[in-house]
Amino acid sequence: MSANELAAADEVCDERINFNVATSNQTENGDITTVSLVESERAAYAFIPQTPIRSTDAHLEEFSEALRTVAKTLRRVAEGKAAAQAEAAEWKRKYELEMASKEHKHYNVIKGCSNFRKDKLEQPTSQLALETAPIDQTSCCGNHGICSHQILQDECPGPKRKPDEKIIGRKAPFRLLWGCDGDKNGQHKRDFVSFEKGDIKTAERSNKQILLKWESPPQTVLLVTKPNSNSVLALCAEMVSGTFRKELLAEDSYFSFIQTCNNDQEAKTLHTKIDLIVTLGGDGTVLWAASLFIGPVPPVVAFSLGSLGFMTPFPSEQYRECLSNVLKQPFSITLRSRLQCHVIRDAAKEQVENEQPILVLNEVTIDRGMSSYLTYLECYCDSSYVTRVQGDGLIISTTSGSTAYSLAAGGSMVHPQVPGILFTPICPHSLSFRPLILPEYVTLCVQVPLNSRGHAWASFDGKGRIQLGRGDALICSISPWPVPTACLADSTTDFLRSIHDGLHWNLRKSQSFDGPSA
CA distance 350 to 293: 26
Cα→Cα distances 434→44, 404, 506, Å: 94, 17, 22
Q: Residue 189 contacts by C-beta under 8 Å, 6 or more apart in sequence?
A: 178, 179, 180, 183, 203, 204, 205, 207, 208
Q: Tell me whether residue 186 is exposed, middle or buried, using C-beta atoms within 10 angstroms of its C-beta: 0 to 12, 13 to 18, 19 or more.
A: middle
CA contacts within 13 A on the Cβ side of 116: 24
Q: How far apart, in whole angstroms, are the C-alpha atoms of residue 261 and residue 362?
A: 26
> What CA–CA distance (Å, rounded) separates 161 from 418?
40
| Calculated CA dihedral for residues 342, 343, 348, 349, nearest 10 degrees | 60
Annotated catalytic residue: which of 283, 461, 472, 494?
A: 283
Any catalytic annotation for residue 283?
yes
CB 172 within 8 A of CB 217: yes
Q: What phi and psi, each to the nearest 5 degrees, are found at residue 310?
A: -75, -30
H-run or E-run covering 278? strand 276-281
Which residue type, as a one-letter code, is found at position 359? L
Q: How far is CA 301 from CA 287, 289, 322, 380, 486, in A?
A: 13, 11, 9, 37, 5
Other C-beta atoms lying within 10 Å of the C-beta of residue 205: 8
Angle at CA of residue 412, ends 400 and 496, nearest 5° = 60
3-state secondary structure of 386: strand
**Partners of 426 in the beta sheet?**
393
Alpha carbons 89 and 215: distance in angstroms, whole number: 34
Instruction: Read off the amino acid at residue 116.
Output: F
439 and 421 in contact (C-beta within 8 Å)? yes
- 81, containing H or E segment: helix 53-105
The CB density around residue 17, as the number of other CB atoms within 10 Å, is 5
Handedness of CA 149, 146, 441, 404 (dihedral sign): negative
**Angle, CA of 419, 304 and 311, to the nearest 5°:** 5
User: Which residues are the active-site residues?
Assistant: 283
